[in-house]
Chain A
């Protein structure tokens, strides 16, 4: 291995600026996609457990579709194929006039993909509450809506905090795939630094360290959240 190391390159103004801007995009994509994933995921997850057959089937279809197609392929479909199958004017708008098309596509693609995984956690959480409480709620004259509102959701949401933490970390890591549709997030920027300086090992080490720091930060937040949401006497004692 004959490689000329030069860590100073990371602190040259231009390249440091690239790393910071990449970090900014990584956060922007991951957080926006997370909001979308939570909103859609909770709806779909709850939908899969509802007594209504058609709704449950629809939500199951969503999960199977979005969970089983690789994220890379989904991003590609959203970015390159979608504008071709919608009406011409809309497609043209998507390709040329939509503000930040790479960013919007990445958020939608990553958000809807992660939503399917969130939905599974939500469903598992609701099922984990057990039939006993559900039957008890119905026996007390609760409607389905009330059963969910007062019994199932409050318990299950607190149960699924730990697995949701992993999803939150995963969305940060998956955001790096946005570089494939031209979004210059952290990984893309480190690749770019590698290309301009040929100090690739330093650039990728920097990106690795930043991702680890993000992950550790998220873990700390999650553990605090877990402590406050744990249900005494229920499963999931830390």
Chain B
């Protein structure tokens, strides 16, 4: 914190010098108001949450929900906003949010308490957990079968920690190959470099659907972790967070969420679980 004192003092001085705006906005809202643009951090290969379509434009379930938030911010500020897209990955998303590069992260980010020391989350938009993807002929049906096998894990994900913890707990001898992203994890499995790739089960379905031989792979085992996804916003910025909460509550309350969900998940044949329905219900707060 010592380092930030001069910066804070400068910001304070500037704030005093600047003419007070009509609403005295602070934080992210003030930043967006001043620049007229909102910066969205998005993932590039998290099907169907946020990925690049054939025109290299970010699309997906999380992007659609983010657009609802953007509309709400636009209505709040009473002006049209331009949207700037910045690609992020698991390693960069927290830092880019903390340092003010992006205002809203739309992807497949797990809301957990350690991360909340640096960032804040809007209400849960999806619930998943870690599972194992294997080749059907591998004979692996749960973590207990991993002894002597090789598993690929994406660096910097909650899944990496969940699988490592499970392996440790059972005292298994497993070779772990750290990979950069889902694409590389899938490649490692396809080329037989590893026997397993583990990540959020919903992303595994997406990977299998996109692979050349969808019938050769299966998702197995119990959930090794509880991963509620949420859109990420900056910490200690309740004004901006509230607009996001309101926008999502509106989407949940009106049932609009069902249409958006169906649009992205029906092709994957993944229905809303009771748990997810409950999460939507709980966050459909009254105005």
Q: Which of A80, A83, A184, A198 contacts B94 (CB 8 A)?
A: A198
Q: Is the CB of A195 within 8 A of B156?
A: yes
Interface 9-mer from B124-132, B176-184, B273-281? B176-184
In the complex, chain B residues whose CB is within 8 Å of the CB of A84: 191
Q: Would you call A17 an interface residue if the criterion is a C-beta within 8 Å of the partner chain's C-beta atoms?
A: no
Interface 9-mer from A111-119, A152-160, A186-194? A186-194
Main secondary structure of the interface of A (DSSP, over half): helix
Q: Is the CB of B192 within 8 A of A182?
A: no
In the complex, chain A residues whose CB is within 8 Å of the CB of B156: 191-192, 194-195
Q: Is the CB of B192 within 8 A of A92?
A: yes
With known contacts A5-B4, A184-B178, A191–B95 Cβ distance under 8 A: no
Q: Would you call A11 an interface residue if the criterion is a C-beta within 8 Å of the partner chain's C-beta atoms?
A: no
Q: How many Å lie between the Cα of A189 and that of B115 in the bound state?
A: 19
Q: Would you call B1 an interface residue if the criterion is a C-beta within 8 Å of the partner chain's C-beta atoms?
A: yes
Q: Would you call A224 an interface residue if the criterion is a C-beta within 8 Å of the partner chain's C-beta atoms?
A: no
Q: Would you call B213 an interface residue if the criterion is a C-beta within 8 Å of the partner chain's C-beta atoms?
A: no
Tell me how many residue pairs across A and B have CB atoms closer than 8 Å: 69
Chain B residues bordering chain A, tally (CB within 8 A): 35
Q: How many Å lie between the Cα of A144 and that of B160 in the bound state?
A: 59
Q: Would you call B99 an interface residue if the criterion is a C-beta within 8 Å of the partner chain's C-beta atoms?
A: yes
With known contacts A192-B156, A195-B90, A180–B180 Cβ distance under 8 A: yes
Of the listed residues B2, B4, B7, the one surrounded by the most CB atoms of chain A closer than 10 A to its CB is B4
Q: Would you call A201 an interface residue if the criterion is a C-beta within 8 Å of the partner chain's C-beta atoms?
A: yes
Contact with B along A197-215 (1 / 0, CB 8 A): 1101100000000000000
Q: How many Å lie between the Cα of A80 and that of B192 in the bound state?
A: 10
Q: Is the CB of B98 within 8 A of A1?
A: yes
In the complex, chain B residues whose CB is within 8 Å of the CB of A196: 161
CB contacts under 8 Å to B, within A1-35, are: 1-5
Contact with A along B1-45 (1 / 0, CB 8 A): 111100100000000000000000000000000000000000000
Q: Is the CB of A83 within 8 A of B191?
A: yes
Give min CB distance, B115 to chain A, whole Å.
6
Q: Is the CB of B187 within 8 A of A80?
A: yes
In the complex, chain A residues whose CB is within 8 Å of the CB of B235: 2
Q: Is the CB of A194 within 8 A of B95?
A: yes
Of the listed residues B115, B188, B191, B237, the one surrounded by the most CB atoms of chain A closer than 10 A to its CB is B191
Q: Would you call B114 an interface residue if the criterion is a C-beta within 8 Å of the partner chain's C-beta atoms?
A: yes
Q: Would you call B255 an interface residue if the criterion is a C-beta within 8 Å of the partner chain's C-beta atoms?
A: no
Q: Is the CB of A198 within 8 A of B114?
A: yes
Q: How many Å lie between the Cα of A5 and that of B2 in the bound state?
A: 9
CB contacts under 8 Å to B, within A23-78, are: none
Q: Which of B117, B179, B180, B191 contacts A198 (CB 8 A)?
A: B117
What are 28 A-B pairs at a CB distance below 8 A?
A1-B7, A1-B98, A1-B100, A2-B98, A2-B236, A3-B4, A3-B118, A4-B1, A4-B117, A4-B118, A83-B193, A95-B191, A95-B193, A96-B150, A96-B192, A179-B155, A182-B177, A188-B155, A188-B178, A191-B155, A191-B156, A194-B95, A195-B156, A195-B160, A198-B115, A198-B118, A200-B95, A201-B95
Interface residues of A (CB under 8 A from B): 1-5, 80, 83-84, 92, 95-96, 102, 179-180, 182, 184, 188, 191-192, 194-198, 200-201
**Other A-B pairs beyond A1-B4, A83-B193, 6, CB < 8 Å:** A5-B3, A191-B155, A195-B155, A195-B157, A198-B118, A200-B94
